[in-house]
Amino acid sequence: MTKNILVIDDSALMRRVLSDIINADDRFRVTEIALNGLEGLTILQNRGKEFDAVLLDINMPKMNGIELLAELKKQNIKATVIVVSTIAKKEASETIRALELGAFDFVTKPESYLEVKSNFFSDRILECLTTATKAIRNVDKETVLEKAERVIKPVTEPSSKKAHSLLSQSGNKLIALACSTGGPKALHTVIPNLPGNLDAGVLIVQHMPGGFTKSLADRLNELSPLTVKEAEDGDILTKGTVFIAKGGYQMRLKKQESGSYVISISKEPARHGLLPCADIMYESLLDTNFDQITCVVLTGMGGDGTAGITQLNKKQNIYVIAQNEETSIVYGMPKVIKDAGLVDEVVALNEVSDAITKNVGVR
């Protein structure tokens, strides 16, 4: 069945570009356009159930994208919204706010005519729409999640979960968290509810392009008793601090001769198309000497994190917490790690912070 899409954008050129991309795929069609958020709100108030997804610009006259999302939330109007945003610093922070308000995901606008004509932008739009609307792929009728499970399962051992040892309150601990689609909104639930005296440092890989992770970290820092920052090369791991991997880079943890741990941020090729990649973060923990590593896997497409946690399970004392299906925006990454037999706890999103705190303790 064809999925109906509403495009809300004040740029005639962008409306045409988006319409051409969407209508070229027979799974989707643009059935309505709006020139600003106020027009979009009226359409969604009267005919919201007609649309399977909404593509939303941020900077518009009369009512911008943030104001529209806030109004949809206030009026309890359900809509699957994909924000189409630029990388400008101001708009990056607004994009994070949009995700916090309930946007499904975002796509960065092309910065040049060549980018408009490239496949990257169109592929990203269609990928988001496919995931958001659960549209069947034309090529092989196989979902992204099914592909991820097929790739990951051969390297996992469902019965290989080691019994974890209990820790004293003085144990040397680390929390390593991975998430993707739906992750920014999930992090806004989890991180602000962790106590400021949490007895561990926190590493986070959230799949996100460069230019957005600092805005995400800054926003979470405003809301949280913990210190939250975008990780920089050479940062020293400290308890009570959350380090978010920099978009467009890979993040690893390295041990110094002094015994402390420092974060390494490197510009290198993507793995499985991911920059940053959670598997790389987890693999970097293989030779560390933490008493326990709490691995947390939240909502996200694909299976990133499972291969790395599988390796980690063979060498380290780990405790794995996964988000449940009911509260996941996309039940991909948590499902793959659960199906691999590596999960100690499956919990709802609003229970993740308590599960982490109970396992790690406070200082």
Query: Which residues are catalytically annotated?
Result: 180, 207, 304
What's the rounded Cα separation, in Å, for the pair 155 and 66? Answer: 43
What's the rounded Cα separation, in Å, for the pair 289 and 278? Answer: 19
- Please work out, in degrees rounded to the nearest 5, the angle formed at the alpha carbon of residue 180 by the alpha carbons of 179 and 181: 130
What's the rounded Cα separation, in Å, for the pair 109 and 116? Answer: 8
What's the rounded Cα separation, in Å, for the pair 252 and 288? Answer: 11
| Residue whose C-alpha is closest to residue 105's, from 299, 363, 359 | 299
What's the rounded Cα separation, in Å, for the pair 251 and 317? Answer: 21
Residue 288 identity (one-letter amino acid)? T
Coil vs helix vs strand at 244:
strand
Asked if residues 251 and 231 have their Cβ atoms less than 8 Å apart, the reply is yes
